[in-house]
Amino acid sequence: MTPFGEAVRRLRARKGVSQKEMAEALNVSPAYLSALEHGKRGLPTFDLLQRIAGYFNIIWDEAEELFLLARSSDPRVVIDTSGLPPEYTEFANRLARRIRNLDSAEIGRLSALLENGGKGDGKAS
Protein backbone atom coordinates (compact mmCIF):
# COMPACT_ATOMS: atom_id res chain seq x y z
CA MET A 1 0.00 0.00 0.00
CA THR A 2 1.21 3.51 -0.77
CA PRO A 3 0.97 6.55 1.53
CA PHE A 4 -1.70 7.92 -0.83
CA GLY A 5 -3.63 4.62 -0.76
CA GLU A 6 -3.48 4.57 3.03
CA ALA A 7 -4.83 8.14 3.17
CA VAL A 8 -7.70 7.31 0.79
CA ARG A 9 -8.54 4.24 2.85
CA ARG A 10 -8.67 6.37 6.02
CA LEU A 11 -10.92 8.90 4.27
CA ARG A 12 -13.23 6.10 3.10
CA ALA A 13 -13.39 4.68 6.62
CA ARG A 14 -14.14 8.12 8.05
CA LYS A 15 -16.99 8.57 5.56
CA GLY A 16 -18.13 4.95 5.92
CA VAL A 17 -18.06 4.09 2.22
CA SER A 18 -16.81 1.05 0.35
CA GLN A 19 -14.41 1.08 -2.58
CA LYS A 20 -17.31 0.13 -4.80
CA GLU A 21 -19.43 3.08 -3.65
CA MET A 22 -16.55 5.51 -4.00
CA ALA A 23 -15.56 4.15 -7.42
CA GLU A 24 -19.12 4.53 -8.67
CA ALA A 25 -19.30 8.13 -7.44
CA LEU A 26 -15.95 8.96 -9.10
CA ASN A 27 -16.84 7.14 -12.32
CA VAL A 28 -13.90 4.73 -12.11
CA SER A 29 -13.94 0.96 -11.75
CA PRO A 30 -13.69 -0.61 -8.29
CA ALA A 31 -10.72 -2.63 -9.61
CA TYR A 32 -8.90 0.56 -10.58
CA LEU A 33 -9.58 2.17 -7.21
CA SER A 34 -8.38 -0.95 -5.41
CA ALA A 35 -5.21 -1.07 -7.52
CA LEU A 36 -4.61 2.63 -6.86
CA GLU A 37 -4.96 2.13 -3.10
CA HIS A 38 -2.63 -0.88 -3.15
CA GLY A 39 0.07 0.80 -5.24
CA LYS A 40 -0.48 -1.38 -8.27
CA ARG A 41 -1.31 1.58 -10.52
CA GLY A 42 0.65 4.72 -11.26
CA LEU A 43 -0.22 8.13 -9.94
CA PRO A 44 -3.80 9.37 -10.27
CA THR A 45 -4.43 12.28 -12.61
CA PHE A 46 -4.88 15.76 -11.19
CA ASP A 47 -8.51 15.58 -12.30
CA LEU A 48 -9.06 12.40 -10.29
CA LEU A 49 -7.31 13.92 -7.27
CA GLN A 50 -9.68 16.88 -7.45
CA ARG A 51 -12.69 14.57 -7.71
CA ILE A 52 -11.46 12.58 -4.69
CA ALA A 53 -11.03 15.78 -2.64
CA GLY A 54 -14.50 16.92 -3.69
CA TYR A 55 -16.03 13.52 -2.94
CA PHE A 56 -14.74 13.68 0.62
CA ASN A 57 -15.49 17.41 0.87
CA ILE A 58 -12.14 18.00 2.53
CA ILE A 59 -10.70 21.42 3.33
CA TRP A 60 -7.93 22.89 1.20
CA ASP A 61 -5.09 22.01 3.63
CA GLU A 62 -6.18 18.38 3.77
CA ALA A 63 -6.59 18.26 -0.02
CA GLU A 64 -3.10 19.71 -0.49
CA GLU A 65 -1.70 17.05 1.85
CA LEU A 66 -3.50 14.36 -0.18
CA PHE A 67 -2.01 15.77 -3.41
CA LEU A 68 1.49 15.74 -1.88
CA LEU A 69 1.01 12.15 -0.74
CA ALA A 70 -0.05 11.21 -4.27
CA ARG A 71 3.15 12.71 -5.69
CA SER A 72 5.28 10.67 -3.28
CA SER A 73 3.34 7.43 -3.81
CA ASP A 74 4.33 6.42 -7.33
CA PRO A 75 5.10 2.68 -7.05
CA ARG A 76 7.19 2.78 -10.24
CA VAL A 77 9.88 5.31 -9.49
CA VAL A 78 12.40 6.25 -12.18
CA ILE A 79 15.66 7.84 -11.11
CA ASP A 80 17.36 9.77 -13.90
CA THR A 81 21.11 9.70 -13.27
CA SER A 82 22.10 10.79 -16.77
CA GLY A 83 24.87 13.36 -16.59
CA LEU A 84 25.79 12.40 -13.03
CA PRO A 85 29.01 10.64 -11.96
CA PRO A 86 29.00 6.81 -12.29
CA GLU A 87 28.72 6.22 -8.54
CA TYR A 88 25.28 7.89 -8.56
CA THR A 89 24.00 5.44 -11.18
CA GLU A 90 25.55 2.53 -9.30
CA PHE A 91 23.92 3.67 -6.05
CA ALA A 92 20.48 4.06 -7.67
CA ASN A 93 20.71 0.57 -9.14
CA ARG A 94 21.89 -0.97 -5.88
CA LEU A 95 19.00 0.68 -4.05
CA ALA A 96 16.53 -0.61 -6.65
CA ARG A 97 17.81 -4.17 -6.20
CA ARG A 98 17.88 -4.10 -2.40
CA ILE A 99 14.96 -1.91 -1.34
CA ARG A 100 12.67 -4.89 -0.71
CA ASN A 101 15.16 -6.26 1.81
CA LEU A 102 15.48 -3.09 3.90
CA ASP A 103 13.62 -3.06 7.19
CA SER A 104 11.67 -0.07 8.49
CA ALA A 105 14.55 1.03 10.75
CA GLU A 106 16.92 1.15 7.78
CA ILE A 107 14.35 3.06 5.73
CA GLY A 108 13.99 5.49 8.64
CA ARG A 109 17.75 6.07 8.78
CA LEU A 110 17.96 6.62 5.02
CA SER A 111 14.97 8.97 5.14
CA ALA A 112 16.59 10.98 7.94
CA LEU A 113 19.78 11.18 5.91
CA LEU A 114 17.84 12.53 2.93
CA GLU A 115 15.96 15.02 5.13
CA ASN A 116 19.25 16.32 6.50
CA GLY A 117 20.56 16.93 2.98
CA GLY A 118 23.04 14.05 3.16
CA LYS A 119 24.79 15.51 6.21
CA GLY A 120 24.06 12.55 8.48
CA ASP A 121 22.19 12.76 11.75
CA GLY A 122 24.81 14.72 13.63
CA LYS A 123 25.64 11.78 15.92
CA ALA A 124 29.21 10.64 16.42
CA SER A 125 30.00 7.28 14.87
Domain regions of the chain by residue span: 3-71, 78-125
Q: Which long-range contacts (CB under 8 A, 24 or more apart) does 41-44 make?
A: 41/75, 42/74, 42/75, 42/76, 43/70, 43/71, 43/73, 43/74, 44/4, 44/70
In 3-state terms, what secondary structure has residue 65? helix
**pLDDT tens across 61-113, in order?**
889 999 999 988 877 788 999 999 999 999 999 999 999 999 999 999 999 99
pTM over 0.75: no
Determine the residue type at 2: T
**pLDDT tens across 3-54, in order?**
899 999 999 999 999 999 999 999 999 999 999 988 888 788 999 999 999 9
The class level of CATH for 3-71 reads mainly alpha
34, 19 contact by CB (below 8 A): yes
